Structure 1
């Protein structure tokens, strides 16, 4: 999630745990600092653009390492404020703040390596966009109220935590509803895997990506609409390019990190690999130039995600306006696009594997 959400969550959790035993403002400050701590890995250079992406939310988001750090950080706080008598409360507060940070990140699709050092598997439920005001604002309101009014208003902070947590549950329920709708529509159609993701800053309009052996299909579904049929746009894949680069280490790295939701294309003299999970309709957050020689580093292309355009498109779509593609960029997929109504689907042999969210 975004930094503001993590700061708000960290402060709210710390106030809820230790606010009765210590200063509310002190708890909010240390909660904000601890809530930001795991994301400091963005300042670490892992050697190249692709590694910097894949290793973000790695070791610094490990539940194991954060649990080991909690007693030391809690002890430091108690020493600074001469509150050793409250060590247990501070330990619980700091541990809860550090742990909820990666757990909240897991609600997005980016990929959070919770199980480091035992596994580098990138967990991602994908039911929440990286920025969602309906999650963050209740936390800020409850936290702000208790900071202004004092310890007697701790219930407002608790209410903010409860509301934001309920919103997380709602996002999962909405995602599962859309996933079931998609699965029903795809019954009898061969495909490899499907993923359902929220569009920018909401959990009402959802993006669906279906991967097959020859193309990927992109569609959108609003839970406000009674019509359950999803119209897909098909993006054919360059199968020869896939065969030539499937063993390239950079391609294998991003393929594993995205759980197979990636696309390869040739733009001019460059081979470009794109993460299909983050972004939409040709506005993707992560694209890399794959070097022809495996011993060279992948180079990230400039981010093409225009949030203002995306939000405008989301609003128009939710109002029932005709869905239209966003502006395209020469640095994103430029394969032939064909609007289809869930068919025709390629006829060939496919794995019957579905990515369960």
Structure 2
């Protein structure tokens, strides 16, 4: 999730964990800071844009390392606030602020390597968009009201309500995702389309409109379904994956890394004399946030090292103008 949401989540769980053992403002401040710490790994340059992508949300988001770091961070907090008597309580608050960060990230589609060092498998449920106001606002309002209340019991209730609403919304997203997946599977079966992989993830900023990506051999399909659509059928557009462009690049580390990290949701295109690999999970046709030049040449394709970042976000204005009516069930074709 975005940094603001992680800050708000860290603050909320810290307030809940500390209860009346410290001032609300102290719990908010510590939780907000600790809740954003894992994302400082974006400051590390791993040498090329592909490595920077696949190594984000790695060790800094691993549950084991965060658990081991908790007692030390809690000691630093307790010492700085001169609250050594509450060290164990601070361990709980700091640990929850750290652990809930990657757990929330794992609900997005990006991929979070929760189980390092045992496996580098990226986990991404994809049931919530990376920025969603209905996750962030309840957390911010809950902690904001808690800070404003003088009565500790009232402050804790306000924080609990905000946290509870955010969690309920996340649960709703997971249920809605499974519903749309069922709609997509039935639509594919009715259209006679074999599916190697199916991805269902919300369109930006909400959980009413869902994007469905299907990998089927050497092509991929993209469709959208709103929970308010009058029909229960997903209409798909079909595109070539450009797998022939991958043949001269087999074994090229950046391409292998994207194939693995995207869990098979990728395509290749030629842009001038550059072969570009696109992660199909983030963005929508034809613009993808993560796209990298991995080969170069016209008649003969050679590996490009280091790879180059060429991703973009497309026309955000056109996308947002389409998103609003499409979200409410208006059957509009996506902007291309």
What TM-score do you get using the length of structure 1 for normalisation?
0.88
Q: 1:127-155, CA deviations, whole angstroms, 9 ceiling, x for partnerless residues? A: 00000001111111111001011323210
1:78/1:189 Cα in 2 relative to 1: closer, same or farther (>3 Å)?
same
Residues 113 and 121 in structure 1, CA contact (< 8 A), matched pair in contact too: yes
CA contact (8 A) 1:198 1:206 kept: yes
Q: How does 1:173-184 map to 2 (within 5 A)?
A: 173-184=175-186
Counterpart residue number, 1:265: 269
1:286 counterpart residue number: 290
Could you tell me whether the CA contact under 8 Å between 1:200 and 1:310 is conserved in 2? Answer: no
Partner of 2:332: 323
Residue 152 of structure 1 aligns with which residue? 153
User: Does structure 1 retain, via aligned residues, the 8 Å contact 2:132–2:206?
Assistant: yes
User: Are residues 203 and 50 of structure 1, via their aligned partners in 2, closer, same or farther at CA, if it must alter by over 3 Å?
Assistant: same
Q: Please give the per-residue CA displacement for 1:176-211, whole angstroms capped at 9, x wherever unaligned.
A: 000111112222532211110100001010000111
Written as runs of structure 1 = structure 2, the 5 A alignment for 1:75-90 is 75-90=75-90
Name the residue aligned to 2:126: 126
Cα pair distance change 1:32/1:308, threshold 3 Å = farther
Q: What is residue 139 of structure 1 aligned with on the other side?
A: 139
Give the SS at the match of 1:171: helix
Shift of 1:56: 0.5
Q: What 5-or-longer segments of structure 2 have no aligned partner?
A: 297-301
Aligned 1:332-351 pairs, distance under 5 A: none
Distance 2:117 2:101 in 1: 18
Residue 237 (str. 1) matches residue 241 (str. 2):
yes
Deviation (angstroms), 1:79: 0.9
1:71 corresponding residue in structure 2:
71
Aligned residue in 1 for 2:202: 198
Give the match for residue 170 of structure 1. 172
Q: CA RMSD in A?
A: 1.5
Aligned to 1:297: 306
CA contact (8 A) 1:285 1:304 kept: yes
- Matched residue of 1:296: which SS? strand
> How many Å separate the matches in 2 of 1:197 and 1:147?
35
Q: Any idea what the Cα deviations from partners look like across 1:3-58, whole Å, max 9, x if unmatched?
A: 11000000010011113100100110000000010000000000101100110001
- Aligned partner of residue 260 in structure 1, secondary structure: coil
Cα distance in 1 for partners of 2:217, 2:319 equals: 29
Q: Give me the whole-angstrom Cα distance separating, in 1, the residues matched to 2:36 and 2:327.
A: 34
Pick which of 255-264 and 304-313 moved more: 304-313
Q: Distance in 2 between matches of 1:283 and 1:239?
A: 18
Shift of 1:324: 3.0
1:256 is aligned, of 257, 260, 283, to: 260
Q: Is the 8 A contact 2:35 2:98 kept in 1?
A: yes
Unpaired runs of 5+ residues, structure 1, are 328-357
Structure 1 contact 249–294 (Cα < 8 Å) conserved = no
CA distance in 1, matches of 2:94, 2:214: 41
Preserved contact between residue 196 and residue 207 of structure 1 (Cα < 8 Å): yes
Higher mean C-alpha displacement, 162-171 vs 280-289? 280-289
- Residue-pair matches, total: 327
Quote how far apart the aligned CAs of 1:214 are.
2.2
Q: Work out whether residues 206 and 220 of structure 1, in 8 Å CA contact, stay in contact via their aligned partners in 2.
A: yes
Deviations 1:87-112 (A, max 9, x none): 11100000000000000000100000
Larger relative contact order (CA 8 Å, sep ≥ 6): 1
**Structure 2 CA distance for aligned equivalents of residues 43 and 170 of structure 1:** 33
TM-score, normalising length: structure 2: 0.94
Once the two structures are superposed, what CA deviation does each residue of 1:211-233 show, in whole Å capped at 9, x if it has no partner?
Answer: 11121100000111230111111
Matched, 1:275 2:283: no
